[in-house]
Structure 1
Amino acid sequence: MRSNADETINRIREIAYSEGDRRARAAAIAELIRVVGDHRWVGLYDVGPSLIAAIAWTGLKAPSHPTFPVNQGLNGAAVTACAPIVVQDVRNDSRYLTTFGSTLAEAIFPVLSPTGQVLGTIDVESDRVNAFSAEDEAFLSRCTTVIAGLWD
């Protein structure tokens, strides 16, 4: 992490539970996660009964798949497992849905309700193989617990 994780988590919590446009709050959270982790792209997604849909993202461009079936891709795998999926080299994982040709590593962290239902996901992409450290994974896991306000 490039800065103090506790300060960033507190800022993310403030944004998640603040008033205002949900997409704008989600975009601000995605940008904080992207900058602090030095990631190339970060997106936040809603998870419905049959579709996963992008709420907001930050990085060079919009995702190639802004919506897709809940059983597809690494997002779908994380939703099905109700657990994070971290792939350090997407070229070796057939579940990867190509969003950007330069993505080499991707991490998906589900956001869970108090009852364990998957509400959404944090999707982080990197143009480096082995981009996610244990510290990155711990930070992203903490983020999932403080952004639930986006689904209130």
Structure 2
Amino acid sequence: MTLEQLRPQISTIISEHTATVDERLLSICEVLESNVPYYNWVGFYFRNGDKEELKLGPYVGAPTDHTIIPFGKGICGQVAVSNQNFVVPDVSAQDNYIACSMTVKAEIVVPIFVNGENIGQIDIDSNTPDPFSEEDERFLEFVCTQVASLL
């Protein structure tokens, strides 16, 4: 299934008003992880109240010890500060990378904005070297815009 073909599924999940926000976020993670072969860990991080840190939200993939990430630390922490997408084709080449698993080769993080404020992000790890394209970025921006409508 192509990324474009997944867009209607994401919109359908967002509009399932009988499910909680966390249930819908988890469903998005499950759809992405199961339909995109190189999306091996898919999760959401959100600003932890007024603290300068991110807190792990719903995710699919291997368990992680990184449930709290300070702003500026790792790829996710850098996106919390920069407000920019961050595509890492090779995590071993990044000085500020927080290793979640030895199998992870690449990562993409796209921020979620509500009323112009960066309130969180989608984080995707891949066990495939350099798999992410501009198409992934545009698709994940769409996902984040959809998610923002829930929050």
TM-score, scaled to structure 2: 0.88
Give, as a single letter, the amino acid of the residue that structure 2 aligns with 1:31.
Answer: E
Q: Deviations over 1:25-74 (max 9, x none)?
A: 11101111222322111011112332211111112x22220112122110
- Distance in 2, matches of 1:76 and 1:111, equals 13
Unpaired segments of 5 or more residues in structure 2?
none
Give, as a single letter, the amino acid of the residue that structure 1 aligns with 2:95.
Answer: S
**Equivalent position to 2:56, from 51, 54, 57:** 54
2:66 is aligned with 1:68: no
8 Å CA contact retained: 2:29, 2:42: yes
Q: Which residue of 2 aligns with 1:10?
A: 8
**Equivalent residue runs for 1:28-39 within 5 Å:** 28-38=27-37, 39=39
Structure 1 residues 90 and 17, CA, compared in 2 at 3 Å: closer, same or farther?
same
**CA RMSD of the aligned region, Å?**
1.6
Q: Which residue of 2 aligns with 1:129?
A: 129
Structure 1 residues 133 and 86, CA, compared in 2 at 3 Å: closer, same or farther?
same
Give, as a single letter, the amino acid of the residue that structure 2 aligns with 1:29.
Answer: I
- Distance in 1, matches of 2:95 and 2:16, equals 39
TM-score, scaled to structure 1: 0.88
Q: Secondary structure at the match of 1:132?
A: coil
Q: Which residue of 2 aligns with 1:27?
A: 26
Q: Which residue of 2 aligns with 1:97?
A: 98
Q: Deviations over 1:60-102 (max 9, x none)?
A: x222201121221101111111110000000000111111111
Task: Provide runs of 4+ in structure 1 moved above 6 Å.
Answer: none
Give, as a single letter, the amino acid of the residue that structure 1 aligns with 2:124.
Answer: V
8 Å CA contact retained: 1:12, 1:147: no
CA positional deviation for 1:129: 1.1
Q: Secondary structure at the match of 1:147?
A: helix
Unpaired segments of 5 or more residues in structure 1?
none
CA positional deviation for 1:4: 5.6
- How many residues align? The count is 147
- Distance in 2, matches of 1:100 and 1:109, equals 20
Q: Which residue of 2 aligns with 1:77?
A: 78
